[in-house]
Chain A
Amino acid sequence: MLLTLAVLFIGQAGLGGTTVVCILLISTFVKTQMVADYFMGLKRTRLIWRAIVTVYLLLVMSLIGLAYWLSLS
């Protein structure tokens, strides 16, 4: 919830740039991984089930980060 409020604050302030994009992507990764681990219950399953989501999230966040880095540079 706090991370969501922080994201809203950044959005309302109209902040941008490499650092802000990195912070937003990392906070999104942390939140989604927590949903997968604790809400979906993947933390206590066989590693492969959790790894699929973690790799997926890392891949999506990295590609989004790459696209934003290309547009900023």
Chain B
Amino acid sequence: MNKVDTISAPHPKGYYPPGDFAIWFFIYAELLAFGVFFVTYAFARTYNVEMFNASQLELNRTAGAINTVLLITSSYFVIRAVAAIREDQQNLCVKWLFAAIFLGGMFLVVKIIEFKAKFAAGISLSTNTFYTFYFSMTVFHFMHVILGMIILGAVMLKARRGGYSSQEHTGVETGASYWHMVDLVWIILFPLVYVIR
């Protein structure tokens, strides 16, 4: 963890988080919105535990675990991209960002396969309360993954044109921070919706 600690935290203690300061208000607001979702799900479950447990068993836990690994690995690639730009290695930064976006795309593919299987089985948002939460939370998160990929894509294009350097790379750190938030939220969502009973 020491190497990761070093490359992800450039400022000495007492400074602001990496990236544009404004993104952190956005990140905390997003965490709050997801937090409300998570807690509401947990308390809604208390009213019909049997139905929630039975519906939960119908989910594809392997797909959920694969998606967790994809997002964590993708987050690590973003860290490598930030480390590369801090050393003025624009091409390497672009490659790491591309790899991160690719894994984000893989996440979406796995999720679409999961959604298709559910729709094919006649399951939808209105099937029961569990699936209302399942689709609401996972689609909400799905949209955040897409937004994160768009942000990383824009950062990658700018990095490709030489728009970032070791002196000025706030945009890369900003995109990275947002992507890590998307990762963090999924790490809570996966056990909560797929596993805990």
- Interface set of A (CB-CB < 8 Å, partner B): 1, 4-5, 7-8, 10-12, 14-16, 20-21, 24-25, 27-28, 31-32, 34-46, 49, 52-53, 56, 59-60, 63-64, 67-68, 70-71
Q: Is the CB of A39 within 8 A of B61?
A: no
Nearest Cβ distance between residue B50 and chain A, in whole angstroms?
10
Partner of A11, one of B11, B43, B194: B194
Q: Is the CB of A67 within 8 A of B45?
A: yes
Q: What is the interface of chain B mostly: helix, strand, loop, or mixed?
A: helix
Q: How many residues of B contact A (CB 8 A)?
A: 53
Bound-state Cα–Cα, A44 to B154, Å? 27
Q: What is the interface of chain A mostly: helix, strand, loop, or mixed?
A: helix
Q: Is the CB of A40 within 8 A of B190?
A: no
Q: Is the CB of B12 within 8 A of A44?
A: yes
Nearest Cβ distance between residue A55 and chain B, in whole angstroms?
11
Q: Is the CB of A1 within 8 A of B69?
A: yes
Q: Is the CB of A38 within 8 A of B15?
A: no
Whether B146 is near chain A, meaning CB under 8 Å from some CB there, is: no
Bound-state Cα–Cα, A31 to B189, Å? 12
